[in-house]
Amino acid sequence: MTSENDDMGLAMSSISMFNKSSNTSDSFFSSCWDPIVSQSGSLGGSSMASHYHLVMENQGISGTSHVSHYQSDPSFVELVSKLTGFDGGNLSQMVGPFSLPQCNQVANRRCPPNFTLNTEGGNERGSTNSLRFLDEHRISKEALVGTSPNGKIRKCAPESGSPLRSCKNGDEEPVMDLSSEGCDGPREQARKKPETEQNTGANSRGKQAVKQDKDSSQSEEAPKENYIHVRARRGQATNSHSLAERVRREKISERMRLLQELVPGCNKITGKAVMLDEIINYVQSLQQQVEFLSMKLATVNPEINLDLDRILSKDILHQRSGSAAVLGLGPGSNSPYGFSPSTFPGTISGIPNKNPQFPPLPQTVLENELLNLFQMGFSGSTMDGFGLNGIHRSKQSYIF
């Protein structure tokens, strides 16, 4: 296949270029690149290597982290081989069947299929695309803080690009001229603001075949900037404000997803408003628990040996989070967090009372004491936020 030969040729030329380049990270690259090139026996792999190499050349040391990411994931080679099996069709269609929802999302939004189309042409095209690829890496580095799904996202982008290239060889469309205008517009706007790069499916692919000559002059400028370039999606406004808005929204939804994992019982919730409500409830309940526990610590017998504290510190550090599991695995009921205060009566009533000075603490007595203290608190000095709501909640949990 001619395209395959082109790829190999490009890879070879890129490697030779790499050897000549005077980057300080040369040694690093040489050590990293060989496994990648050797690993990727498939079409996509070598193209990836070539793109990635060009990125490194332009970007310098800052890209090394991404190299390591690439290196560590052998699965992307499998993905590439799968993707090359498809022909034609939309990007989303291709990525869809892989049940990689993140990849799909990101591929639709951030995947620069442009850059994958490079290998058909000369190195110039590769450089332009590698810039976008580079920019995308910058985004993922800056915005996503390098968690594991981000690694997948980054890898998906180049992988999905390669089959498009192979399928749409020599694609000439009148759309290209328009798309090139569309590209330049937001790019100029993007110079002023950082924006994430976004790309969609088939139409953007054709751009690169013709764009190479126009963009080659611009390609040298782009890597010097530290901006993230956004590309407007098909059928959406290319206004810089709306692009920035979209970036913001994506960031927010990323964070919401992270929070969803933290807050127990929020897997089924979709929608920001409900999710935020859950988060607020959870934070409130955690704060109330801290207050409950500090109250409990205050009522407990203070005459404890100092030796015990040393034992305590060891025990606490070795303690398994069994109690936390009660909290974390609580059912998705209205107040799952109320379960943990209900453990108090269990521990208190089950303990033989050794201290004669302290009154026995069965459930009701503790409750009364707490009530007295709270009422005292209201009449006396200020109590920040420890209202009667907390008492009612504790009562409910005890009734459980």
Partner 1 sequence: MDLQNLNPSSLKSRFTARFLRALTEINAPKTISSSSPREIFQRYRRIKVAADKSMAYSVRSRRIWSRATLWRLRTRSRSRRLVSFGRRASVKTRTTASHGKENKEHHGAVLGVQAEELRELVPGGEAMDLCNLLDETAHYIKCLTTQVQVMRTIANLYSIE
Task: Give 238's contacts (C-beta < 8 A, 6+ positions apart).
Answer: 182, 185, 186, 189, 232
CB of 386 to partner 1, least distance (A): 9
The DSSP result for 17-74, as a single string, is: HHHH---TTHHHHHHHHHHHHHH--SHHHHHHHHHHHHHHHHHGGGGHHHHHHHHH-T
CB of 332 to partner 1, least distance (A): 17
CB of 137 to partner 1, least distance (A): 21
| 345's tokens | 């009566």
Q: What are phi and psi of 87, to 5 degrees?
A: -135, 145
CA-to-CA dists, residue 243 to 133, 223, 247, angstroms: 19, 21, 6
Chain residues that interact with partner 1, rule: CB under 8 A: 248, 251-252, 255-256, 258-259, 262-263, 272-273, 276-277, 279-280, 282-284, 286-287, 289-291, 293-304, 306, 308-309, 312-313, 315-321, 323-324, 327, 340, 343, 347-348, 351, 354-355, 357-359, 369, 372-373, 376-377, 380-382
Residue closer to partner 1, measured from CB, 29 or 386: 386
Residue closer to partner 1, measured from CB, 169 or 368: 368
Tokens 């100029």 -> residue: 188
Query: Which of 161, 178, 86 is CA-nearest to residue 119?
Result: 161
CB of 114 to partner 1, least distance (A): 28
Residue closer to partner 1, measured from CB, 82 or 296: 296
CB burial string 360-378: b at 16+ within 10 A, e below: ebeeeebbeebeebbeeee
CB of 290 to partner 1, least distance (A): 6
For the beta carbon of residue 357, count every other beta carbon within 10 angstroms.
6
Residue closer to partner 1, measured from CB, 91 or 361: 361
Q: In a 10 Å sphere around its CB, with 0-12 CB exposed, 13-18 middle and 19+ buried, how is residue 235 labelled?
A: exposed
Residue closer to partner 1, measured from CB, 17 or 256: 256
CB of 321 to partner 1, least distance (A): 5
Residue closer to partner 1, measured from CB, 102 or 353: 353
